[in-house]
Structure 1
Amino acid sequence: MTTTEGAPEGTDREISGAELVLTDVVKKYPGQKTPAVESLSLTVPAGEIVMFIGPSGCGKTTSLKMINRLIEPTSGSITIDGKDIRQQDENELRRHIGYVIQGGSLFPHMTVEKNIGIVPKLLGWDADRISARVTDLLDLVGLEPGRYRGRYPRELSGGQQQRVGVARGLAADPPVILMDEPFGAVDPITRQRLQDELLSIQRELRKTIICVTHDIDEAIKLGDRILILKEGARIAQYDTPEAILGAPADDFVADFVGAGSSLKALSLARVSDLELRQPTTARVGESTAEVRERAEANGDTAVVVIDERGRPRGWPWVRQLKGETIVVPDLELNDVDERSTLNDALDTMLSSNHGAAIVTGDRGQYLGIVDFAAVTEQIRAMEEQAGG
């Protein structure tokens, strides 16, 4: 573990990630005139998310796979926490690097619990420790442990399989996580939720995460830094999202980011920047009559139902409250993580009957409500600041 010195602004958790350094890394394949990766050098600070992005065939996935030696570098060095990866046994190395790919890549004949516990078992963990780790990780990725640990991949949705894939990548508590287009095979709504989940997990664990993506909006949303690559994995620009949007290094970067970069800047603003509303809440099991009375006194026509762990479970209208005590409503929940972008918040609000969205924090804890008024006020303030 390291301290938070040099960590992204606004973080105060201990960093469990490790610094990753690539120095003059080259990958040449037999029969090819030009290297797939040509002298790549960069430093990934401990505890940060770095997004690798660039045109198809530019070498971003090759660069990622050299970090865990799924592809062997031709020359150059890669160190993790100062240790050269080529001086380590490749199987031992991979057991200490999380690896998450598109679709989760789960073993179909294994339960969720056994999928997650593969690497800890290889490392010699006992059964009780593995079971406890599975429970904690399923909770971390937003899946009820008692409900999902015994299921098989075929019984899960695409988004649930990807969550289990993330949990498996975290199972042995590795300092470095590699992600190869992890959210590319799911629908846009599920992708947004998985991105939010990753931001929430990272806020708690502070791993070093390298993520390959083809989506500049995803790179802007998730990355502490973005690495834009040209052919041969030559660096076009390696910087923060703010710097890349505000000062592209050259025409290649400007064209890659695309027109409307001022609109993309909205992706830099987070829900956590806004003041949240605090409407009436109700605990599961509480007296319905008392909740109705409290909501009417507050002038609210709906209440947020929270479970015993402080997680939102529904947002019913007062008129929908039935029975003597509050139960978990059978209604879809429109929620966003506090690190969601304003664009994501607006998308969620548009699909909500309330014209607003529930905001959650670590492990799905309820924080408040974000509404159109708060978002539009923030956008107006940003436009004024940009114009001034």
Structure 2
Amino acid sequence: MTTQHTTGHTTGQTTGISGAEIRLEEVVKRYPGQKTAAVESLSLTIPAGEIVMFVGPSGCGKTTSLKMINRLIEPTSGTILIDGEDVRKSSADELRRKIGYVIQGGSLFPHMTVAKNIAIVPKMLGWDASRVKGRVDDLLDLVGLDPSRYRDRYPRELSGGQQQRVGVARGLAADPPVILMDEPFGAVDPITRQRLQDELLSIQRELRKTIVCVTHDIDEAIKLGDRIVILREGGHIAQYDTPEVVLASPADDFVSDFVGSGSTLKQLSLARVNEVDLRETVTARIGEPTADAVQRAEAAGERSVIVLDDRDRPRGWPWLRQLKGDRIVEPTEDLVTVDERSTLNDALDTMLTSSHGAAVVTGDRDRYIGIVTFDTVTDHMRLLEDRAVEERAHEQAAGERA
């Protein structure tokens, strides 16, 4: 018997959603010569405009399931519908032009510039040159890369994180309703990985695509997913629900073991930066008189300023003693920020690399919002932990009375 797994959880308002619902109905994949199916009778509904994370042990069929959505792997049987339309009604090539696809490392063509890599699908769709150029610049800006600096570079001239950003931009190029991501951030260092995750959350907040993402990392699934699909061998769904429900009420021992014994700590990591009070601090604009910025900071009792560009994006956080010259210049150090939808654990990690005991918080298009302090985060997490202890005590008391 096959059960379709859905939940009633939704994320925010439904207005502005540009994604499409995906339904998998009794989807099977069998390979010749294998006794058991790689994926057997997989049925689930992925709501429009949400991020759904596929996670599970090696060999559980998560990547196979993902690739069947855009027919990189053809299902043996069953039906896959995108916005109510059977994916088999289009040719495989036509289907893939309507679905963004992002894989580990960005998979950029090394002989093409960044702009040409991003422009591949729009050009296939017959877009005119001016529309393609505008789209490329918009997308580079969206993923946090200055078009004037990066448009004409080649992949070899980019860092791993920058290549992955370009890969995301290419996946979004033709404005598809569905984006498939296969271990997209698996090949980068932890700090870059956090920043790419934050970038994805920021992009999704603006675009509201339907994103299906495969990961082996349960912490990444918890951070990014509106819902999580935990698969066991054969593509069988062990649990499909929101991160909160998966952590608080694992469906069985398999899910409990997969999530790990630190599930209480993981529940604390569900708390987001935008749930705590942010503090304002003194900011300065690139190009403004240095003396003015110093005067404002000293009047406010601050020993540093956050330097913003002309689009309110933080570029540095220098101490007053580091400000030289008549005008504020763009700092040379790479400022690590956190998105407002980042977890509090991410914020704490970022603070460990900062000499300010705080982290700069950004929102849409990396615009500055405020700062979050170490004390604010630890106080909030302590409050959440106290609440969890109280809830467990109430549950235990209720159990004893029963």
Tell me, yes or no, whether TM beats 0.5: yes
Q: Which residue of 2 aligns with 1:303?
A: 305
- Equivalent position of 2:225 in the other structure: 223
Map of 1:18 onto structure 2: 20
Give the SS at the match of 2:291. helix
Given candidates 73, 94, 97, the residue that maps to 1:95 is 97
* Aligned: 1:374 with 2:397: no
Paired with 2:157 and 2:36, the residues of 1 have a C-alpha distance of: 45
Distance 1:330 1:234 in 2: 50
CA distances 1:156-194 after superposition (whole Å, capped 9, x unpaired):
111000000000000000000000000001111110000
Aligned counterparts, 1:133-144, within 5 A: 133-144=135-146
* C-alpha contact 1:25 1:76 (8 A) present in aligned 2: yes
Provide closer, same or farther for how the CA distance between residues 155 and 220 of structure 1 changes in structure 2, counting only shifts above 3 A: same
Aligned residue in 1 for 2:196? 194
**What residue is the counterpart of 2:393 in the other structure?**
none
1:75 pairs with 2:77 = yes
Q: 1:11 to 1:363 in 2, by over 3 A?
A: farther
What corresponds to 2:354 in structure 1? 352
Distance verdict in 2 for CA 1:286–1:7, change over 3 Å: farther
- Return the offset for 1:90: 1.0
Match of 2:166 among 153, 164, 179: 164
The separation in 1 between residues aligned to 2:313 and 2:15, in whole angstroms, is 22
1:126 aligns with 2:117: no
Gaps of 5+ in 1: 1-5
1:333 alignment counterpart: 335
Secondary structure, in 3 states, of the residue corresponding to 2:269? helix
Q: Which residue of 1 aligns with 2:208?
A: 206
Rate the CA distance shift 1:76–1:160 in 2: closer, same or farther, 3 A: same
How many Å apart are 1:234 and its aligned residue? Answer: 0.3
2:183 partner amino acid: E
Q: Partners of 2:159 and 2:347 in 1: how far apart?
A: 23
Select between 284-293 and 38-47 the one with higher mean Cα deviation.
Answer: 284-293
Quick one: which of 241, 244, 247 aligns to 1:242?
244
Q: Distance in 2 between matches of 1:11 and 1:87?
A: 31
Q: Which amino acid aligns with 2:226?
A: D
Q: CA deviation at 1:331?
A: 2.1
Secondary structure in structure 2 of the residue aligned to 1:124: coil
Could you tell me which amino acid in structure 1 is paired with residue 325 of structure 2?
Answer: G
Is the CA contact (8 Å cut-off) linking 2:286 and 2:310 kept in structure 1?
yes
For residues 291-316 of structure 1, the C-alpha deviation after alignment (integer angstroms, 9 at most, x for no partner) is: 11111110000001111111111100
Match of 2:3? none
Per-residue CA deviations over 1:253-281 (Å, capped at 9, x if unaligned) read: 00000011000112211111111110111
CA 1:11–1:282 in structure 2 vs 1: closer, same or farther (change >3 Å)?
A: farther
Q: 2:42 aligns with which of 40, 55, 66?
A: 40
Deviation at 1:148, TM superposition (A): 0.4
The amino acid of 1:153's aligned partner reads P
Q: For the Cα contact (< 8 Å) 2:268–2:385, is it kept in 1?
A: no
In structure 2, how many angstroms separate the alpha carbons of the residues matched to 1:177 and 1:135?
Answer: 20
In the alignment, which residue of structure 1 is the partner of 2:62? 60
Alignment partner of 1:181 out of 165, 183, 188: 183
Residues 7 and 240 (structure 1), Cα distance of their counterparts in 2 relative to 1, 3 Å cut: closer
Aligned residue number for residue 286 of structure 2: 284
CA distance in 1, matches of 2:334, 2:87: 46
The separation in 1 between residues aligned to 2:186 and 2:75, in whole angstroms, is 26
The count of residues paired between Structure 1 and Structure 2 equals 383
Q: 1: distance between equivalents of 2:256 and 2:308? A: 45
Alpha carbons 1:15, 1:205 under 8 Å: kept: yes
Match of 1:112, as an amino acid?
V
Q: 1:11 to 1:276 in 2, by over 3 A?
A: farther
Q: Kindly state the Cα deviation for residue 330 of structure 1 after the two structures are TM-superposed.
A: 1.7
- Equivalent residue for 1:111? 113
Contact 1:13-1:204 within 8 A present in 2 as well = no
SS at structure 1 position matched to 2:72: coil
Q: Which 4+ runs in 1 deviate beyond 6 A?
A: none
Q: Which amino acid aligns with 2:373?
A: D
For 1:111, the aligned partner's letter is T
Query: Sequence identity of aligned pairs in percent?
Result: 75
Task: Rate the CA distance shift 1:112–1:80 in 2: closer, same or farther, 3 A.
Answer: same
Q: Which residue of 2 aligns with 1:3?
A: none
Structure 2: gaps (5+ residues): 1-7, 391-402
* Contact 2:25–2:80 (CA under 8 A) maintained in structure 1: yes
What is the Cα deviation at residue 12 of structure 1? 6.6
Q: Is the 8 A contact 2:11 2:226 kept in 1?
A: no
The amino acid across from 1:122 in the alignment is M
- 1:11 Cα deviation after fit: 4.8
Partner of 1:98, secondary structure, is strand
Q: Secondary structure at the match of 1:38?
A: strand
Tell me if structure 2 keeps the 8 A contact 1:13–1:206. Answer: no
Aligned-partner Cα distance in 2 for 1:316–1:13? 40
Distance 2:307 2:12 in 1: 29
Contact 2:178 2:209 in 1 (8 A): yes
Q: Which SS does the other structure have where 1:69 is aligned?
A: coil
CA contact (8 A) 2:101 2:179 kept: yes
